[in-house]
C-alpha cells in the first residue's frame, strides 16, 4: 500500500521551563523512604556548567549541555552513562515479579511470524521469524505454495543480533534483490545487491544512504536511491542531515561512478524520494522540506538520457503522494481541497498537466492506495480502524475487502498486471495474519496464520469517546482480559503528532500486562492523522497544547469512570510520544502514577540542531522565531521541571546509537529531574547499547526492555505479578 511519502522521517521522532540555575556541581542523592519498602537510592553526581543564552529577552539556562556530546567520543559522557545504568540496573533487579514477567513475555513472543509476500518475476519474497530469532529472515519461494528458501539471514551478521536487514526490493524480473543493512539501530544504511538464484552478493555496495527507498529500473540494470554527503569523522550520529541527492547505481560499477539524477543545491534542506512509474518510463521525484505532507513533484523521462526534470507540482503546499500510472495518466493521493484526502489523476501528456477527480473524499480518512491488476485499492481509517475499498481506474467502486474485524490492514502491494496481492491484518488481541486477495474475484484467503500460546477470545476490545478540555471528542481504545472488573492498573499510550495515526496492533509485551489483570488504553490524540488534516493541524505548532490536554483528559476519564485504579495509572510514549509524556508529567504530576518516556524529544529549543531534527519544524515550529520560541518554551519538558514538585516515578529509556532523536535529549532531561526532586520517587534512565530509535532492535533486547518497563509500572500501580 503506497502511503504518505515522507513518513520515514517521522515515525518515532521526538521536551518545561526548568527553573534550575547554572551554578556549582549538584550532587543528587536520592533517598527513597523506608516506609515504601525500597532500598536507599543515590543518583550519580551530574556536573553542571554555567551555560545560559539570551533568547528574545529570556535567559535560558542549559547547565547539562555537555551531555549532548557523543558517548562514543566523550569520556565524561560515557562515564555518566555507565554510572546511571548501574543505578538503574540495581533498582530494576529488585522489582517483584520481573523475572517471571520476562519469562512470560518470552513465551508470548515465541510464535511463528510472516510478512506479506512481494511478488516479482513469479517469485515470492517474504520475511519470516520462527519465534525468538533476533532478526527476521528473508525467504523466497519459486511458487506461491512452494518451499521457502533462505535468501538473507541477518542473525549471522553480528554476535549481539544488533545488525539488521532493513529495506529490501526485488528487481522486476525477480533476478536480483537490493537490500540495506542497519547496524546498531542507526538510521544510516549500507546497500548491497544479491543474485537471487545463487544467493551470493554481486559485489555492489552503496554507503551513506538514509531516508531512502530503493527503486529498480524496470530493465534491472540498476537502482535509484537517496543519500547524503559523507559526514565528518566523529559526527556520523549527530550532524544535521542536509543536501539529499538522488543517484542511479548501475550494477557492476563502483559507487564513485553512480550518476547524479536529482539535487537541489540551492535548497539544501529539501529531501527527495524516487519512484519508478509502473511502465518504467518515468522517474517520479517527490520533494519535501519537513515532515508535513507538502510536496513538490517532478518527472524525469528515463527514455531520454538528457531529459530535464518536468515540474508536475510546485510550491510545497499539499500532499501529492504518487500511487502509479497508466501511460500519461498519473494517480496521486492529495489533500488539496480534501482535508481527509482523495485520489486524483494527472494527465502529464497535456499542457498544464490537468488534474481530474477519481475517488472523492469521504467521511473516513484515506490512509493509502495502490494499483494492482488494474484496480485501485484504497485503505481508509474510520475512527482509527481500517476499511478497504476497491475501485476501477475511473474511480467507480467495485467492492470492499472483507476484513476479519476491528483492526489494522496493510500491504496490498503489486503491479498493474498482477491478479493477486497480499495484506496483513492485526488487532490488539490478534497477531498479524497474512491474507491473499484475488483481485478479479475479490476472494480473501488465509496465507499465513500464526499459532499462539493464548486464546485471543479471552480479551475484549472496545472503543470509547471522551471530551477533552475544550470539548473536542477524542477516541480511545480500551483492551482488557474478559472478567477483569472494577478499577485496575492501567497503561495509557499515545503519540499525538506528525499526522501519524495509531491503529489497533498486537504486542506480546502488552499481552503479558493484560494477562495479569491490567488494562491497556490507546488514545488517538489531536496532532495525529486519524481524522485528516484538520485533526493534525489542531495538535501542532501553536496548537500543540491541545495534544497534552487530550492526553490529560484521557487519564482523567480512565480514573473517573472506574477503569484505572485511583493510584494505578501508568503512561507511556515514544519519540514524539516521549515528548508527550515529559510534558504532561510536568503539567499534571498528581494525575499519573508512573511514566515511561522513550527516546523522547525533551529539549524543544535545540531539537533542530541534530541529525533529522531540522525536519520537525513543521510540527514544532522554529526555535529561532520568537512566536514559536515562546510556544516551545511553555511546554518543553527539559525546561519546565521545577524544584520542589513531587513528580511520579519515571523511567526514561533511550539508546546510545539513536541518531533520529539523539540521546542527549533524554540525558539532559533525567539529570534535571533528578536534581529537582532528589528525595522523591525514583527517576531513572535506562540507556541501551548498540541500539537506536527502535527499528532493527533484536528480539532479546525488546524483551529485556519491555520486562523492565512493565515491572516498573507494576511496582508503582499495584499490578500483582507472579
| Residue 357: how many other CB atoms lie within 10 Å | 14
What's the pLDDT at 40? 55
30, pLDDT greater than 70? no
Choose among 93, 116, 102: nearest CA to 699: 102
* pLDDT tens-place string over residues 276-303: 999 999 999 999 998 999 999 999 999 9
Lowest mean pLDDT among 161-170, 226-235, 583-592, 634-643: 226-235
What's the pLDDT at 242? 85
14, pLDDT greater than 70? no
368, pLDDT greater than 90? yes
State the DSSP code for 17: B
Do 447 and 435 touch, CB atoms closer than 8 A? Answer: yes
Residues whose CB falls within 8 Å of the CB of residue 590, separated by 6 or more in sequence, listed in order: none
What's the pLDDT at 259? 97
Residue 515: which pLDDT band, with cuts at 50, 70 and 90?
Answer: very high
Residue 9: which pLDDT band, with cuts at 50, 70 and 90?
Answer: very low
Question: Average pLDDT for residues 407-418, to the nearest whole number?
Answer: 95
Indicate if 575 belongs to the active site.
yes
19, pLDDT greater than 80? no
206, pLDDT greater than 90? yes
* pLDDT tens-place string over residues 117-139: 999 999 999 999 999 999 999 99
Do 129 and 137 touch, CB atoms closer than 8 A? Answer: yes
Widest pairwise Cα distance in the chain: 79
25, pLDDT greater than 50? no
Question: Average pLDDT for residues 104-115, to the nearest whole number?
Answer: 95
Question: Average pLDDT for residues 71-88, to the nearest whole number?
Answer: 95
Element of type H or E holding 150: strand 149-153
What is the dihedral angle through the alpha carbons of 629, 631, 633, 634, rounded to the nearest 10 degrees?
A: 160
Q: What is the three-class DSSP state of 704?
A: helix
Catalytic residue among 507, 575, 636, 707: 575
Question: Average pLDDT for residues 320-345, to the nearest whole number?
Answer: 97
Strand partners, 22: none
Rounded Cα distance, 458 and 118, in Å: 33
Rounded Cα distance, 537 and 501, in Å: 13
Residues whose CB falls within 8 Å of the CB of residue 266, separated by 6 or more in sequence, listed in order: none
| Residue 159: how many other CB atoms lie within 10 Å | 7
* CB-side neighbour CA atoms (13 Å) of 692: 23
Do 41 and 91 touch, CB atoms closer than 8 A? Answer: yes
Indicate the average pLDDT of the chain. 92
Rounded Cα distance, 498 and 616, in Å: 8
State the DSSP code for 34: G
Rounded Cα distance, 365 and 536, in Å: 12
In percent, the amount of the chain with pLDDT more than 90 equals 85
* pLDDT tens-place string over residues 230-274: 887 877 777 778 889 999 999 999 999 999 999 999 999 999 999
Please work out, in degrees rounded to the nearest 5, the angle formed at the alpha carbon of residue 431 by the alpha carbons of 531 and 425.
Answer: 45
513, pLDDT greater than 50? yes
Lowest mean pLDDT among 208-212, 376-380, 510-514: 208-212
Rounded Cα distance, 629 and 541, in Å: 10
Burial class (CB in 10 A: 0-12, 13-18, 19+), 431: buried
Q: How many residues does the chain have?
A: 722
| Inter-CA distances, 390 with 102, 321, 338, 382, 636, Å | 43, 18, 20, 16, 44
Residues 626-657, buried b or exposed e (16+ Cβ, 10 A)?
A: eebbebbbebbbbbbbbeebebbbbbbbbbbb
Element of type H or E holding 399: strand 397-400
16, pLDDT greater than 70? no
* pLDDT tens-place string over residues 607-632: 999 988 988 999 999 999 999 999 99
DSSP string spanning 434-457? EEEEETTT--EEEEE----SS-GG
Indicate if 272 belongs to the active site.
no
Radius of gyration of the chain measured on its C-alpha atoms? 25
Do 687 and 82 touch, CB atoms closer than 8 A? Answer: no
Rounded Cα distance, 486 and 186, in Å: 44
Rounded Cα distance, 708 and 722, in Å: 15
| Inter-CA distances, 664 with 302, 359, 607, 659, 671, Å | 44, 46, 10, 10, 10
What's the pLDDT at 415? 93
What's the pLDDT at 33? 34
* pLDDT tens-place string over residues 542-567: 999 999 999 999 999 999 999 999 99
* pLDDT tens-place string over residues 665-721: 999 999 999 999 998 999 999 999 877 787 788 899 999 999 999 999 999 999 999
Rounded Cα distance, 309 and 295, in Å: 15
Catalytic residue among 186, 389, 693, 707: 693
Do 181 and 188 touch, CB atoms closer than 8 A? Answer: no
Residue 1: which pLDDT band, with cuts at 50, 70 and 90?
Answer: low
What's the pLDDT at 484? 86
Residues 694-705, buried b or exposed e (16+ Cβ, 10 A)?
A: bbbbbbbbbbbb
| Inter-CA distances, 696 with 106, 110, 155, 705, Å | 18, 18, 11, 14
Choose among 663, 682, 528: nearest CA to 601: 663
Do 618 and 290 touch, CB atoms closer than 8 A? Answer: yes
**First CA to last CA distance, the chain:** 42
5, pLDDT greater than 90? no
Sheet harboring 310-313: ordered strands across? 271-276, 282-288, 296-301, 310-313
Rounded Cα distance, 666 and 72, in Å: 16
Do 658 and 599 touch, CB atoms closer than 8 A? Answer: yes
Amino acid at each position: 500500500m503506497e502511503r504518505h511519502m515522507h513518513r520515514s522521517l517521522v515515525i518515532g521522532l521526538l521536551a518545561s521551563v526548568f527553573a534550575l540555575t547554572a551554578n556549582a556541581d549538584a550532587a543528587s542523592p536520592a533517598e527513597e523512604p523506608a516506609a515504601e519498602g525500597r532500598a536507599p537510592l543515590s543518583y550519580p553526581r551530574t556536573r553542571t556548567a554555567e551555560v545560559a543564552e539570551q533568547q528574545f529577552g529570556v535567559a535560558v539556562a542549559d547547565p547539562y549541555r555537555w551531555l549532548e556530546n557523543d558517548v562514543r567520543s566523550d569520556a565524561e559522557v560515557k562515564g555518566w552513562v555507565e554510572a546511571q545504568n548501574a543505578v538503574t540496573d540495581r533498582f530494576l533487579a529488585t522489582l517483584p515479579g520481573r523475572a517471571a514477567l520476562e519469562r512470560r513475555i518470552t513465551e508470548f513472543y515465541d510464535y511463528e511470524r510472516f510478512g506479506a509476500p512481494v511478488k516479482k518475476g513469479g517469485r515470492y519474497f517474504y520475511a519470516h521469524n520462527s519465534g525468538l530469532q533476533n532478526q527476521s529472515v528473508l525467504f523466497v519461494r519459486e511458487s506461491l505454495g512452494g518451499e521457502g528458501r533462505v535468501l538473507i539471514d541477518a542473525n549471522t551478521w553480528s554476535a549481539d543480533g544488533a545488525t539488521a536487514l532493513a529495506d529490501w526490493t526485488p528487481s522486476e524480473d525477480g533476478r536480483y534483490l537490493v537490500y540495506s543493512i542497519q547496524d546498531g539501530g542507526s538510521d544510516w544504511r549500507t546497500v548491497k545487491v544479491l543474485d537471487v538464484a545463487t544467493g551470493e552478493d554481486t559485489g555492489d555496495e552503496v554507503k551513506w544512504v538514509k531516508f531512502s527507498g530503493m527503486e529498480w529500473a524496470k530493465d534491472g540494470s540498476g537502482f535509484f536511491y537517496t543519500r547524503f554527503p559523507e559526514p565528518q569523522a566523529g559526527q556520523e550520529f549527530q550532524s544535521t542531515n542536509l543536501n539529499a541527492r538522488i543517484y542511479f547505481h548501475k550494477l557492476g560499477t563502483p559507487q564513485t561512478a553512480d550518476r547524479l539524477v536529482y539535487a537541489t543545491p540551492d535548497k539544501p534542506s529539501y529531501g527527495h524520494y524516487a519512484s519508478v512509474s509502473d511502465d518504467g518510463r518515468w522517474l517520479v521525484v517527490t520533494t519535501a522540506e519537513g515532515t508535513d505532507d507538502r510536496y513538490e513533484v517532478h518527472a524525469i523521462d528515463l527514455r531520454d538520457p538528457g531529459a530535464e526534470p518536468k515540474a508536475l507540482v510546485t510550491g510545497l503546499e499539499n500532499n501529492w503522494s504518487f500511487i502509479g500510472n497508466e501511460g500519461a495518466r498519473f494517480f496521486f493521493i492529495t489533500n488539496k481541497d480534501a482535508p481527509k484526502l482523495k485520489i486524483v489523476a494527472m494527465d502529464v501528456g497535456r499542457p498544464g498537466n490537468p488534474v481530474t477527480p477519481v475517488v472523492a473524499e469521504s467521511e473516513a480518512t484515506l490512509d493509502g492506495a495502490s494499483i494492482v491488476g488494474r484496480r485501485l485499492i484504497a485503505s481508509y481509517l474510520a475512527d482509527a480502524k481500517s476499511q478497504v475499498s476497491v475501485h476501477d481506474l475511473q474511480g467507480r467502486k467495485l467492492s470492499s475487502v472483507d476484513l476479519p474485524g476491528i483492526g489494522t490492514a496493510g500491504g496490498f502491494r503489486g503491479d498493474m498486471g498482477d491478479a493477486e496481492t497480499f495484506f496483513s491484518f492485526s488487532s490488539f488481541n490478534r497477531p498479524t495474519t497474512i491474507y491473499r486477495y484475488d483481485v478479479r474475484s475479490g476472494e480473501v484467503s488465509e496465507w499465513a496464520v500464526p499459532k499462539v500460546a493464548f486464546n485471543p477470545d479471552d480479551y475484549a476490545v472496545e472503543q470509547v469517546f471522551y471530551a477533552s478540555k475544550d470539548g473536542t471528542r477524542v477516541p480511545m481504545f480500551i483492551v482488557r482480559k474478559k472478567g477483569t472488573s472494577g478499577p485496575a492498573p492501567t497503561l495509557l499510550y499515545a503519540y499525538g503528532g506528525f499526522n501519524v495515526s495509531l491503529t489497533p496492533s498486537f504486542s506480546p509485551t502488552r499481552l503479558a500486562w493484560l494477562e495479569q489483570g491490567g488494562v491497556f488504553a490507546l488514545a488517538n490524540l489531536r496532532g495525529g492523522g486519524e481524522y485528516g488534516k484538520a485533526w493534525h493541524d489542531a495538535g501542532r505548532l501553536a496548537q500543540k497544547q491541545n495534544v497534552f490536554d487530550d492526553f490529560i483528559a484521557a487519564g482523567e476519564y480512565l480514573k473517573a469512570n472506574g477503569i484505572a485504579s485511583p493510584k494505578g495509572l501508568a503512561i507511556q510514549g515514544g519519540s514524539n510520544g516521549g515528548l508527550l509524556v515529559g510534558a504532561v508529567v510536568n503539567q499534571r504530576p498528581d494525575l499519573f502514577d508512573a511514566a515511561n518516556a522513550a527516546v523522547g524529544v525533551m529539549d524543544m529549543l535545540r531539537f533542530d540542531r541534530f541529525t533529522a531534527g531540522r525536519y520537525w519544524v513543521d510540527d514544532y515550529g522554529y526555535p529561532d522565531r520568537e512566536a514559536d520560541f515562546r510556544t516551545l518554551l511553555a511546554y518543553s519538558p527539559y525546561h519546565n521541571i521545577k524544584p520542589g514538585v513531587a513528580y511520579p516515578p519515571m523511567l526514561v529509556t533511550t539508546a546510545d546509537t539513536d541518531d533520529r532523536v539523539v540521546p542527549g535529549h533524554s540525558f539532559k532531561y533525567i539529570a534535571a529531574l533528578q536534581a529537582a526532586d532528589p528525595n522523591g520517587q525514583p527517576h531513572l534512565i535506562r540507556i541501551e547499547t548498540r541500539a537506536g530509535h527502535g527499528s532493527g532492535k533484536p528480539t532479546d533486547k525488546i524483551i529485556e526492555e519491555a520486562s523492565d518497563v512493565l515491572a516498573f509500572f507494576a511496582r508503582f500501580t499495584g499490578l500483582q505479578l507472579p
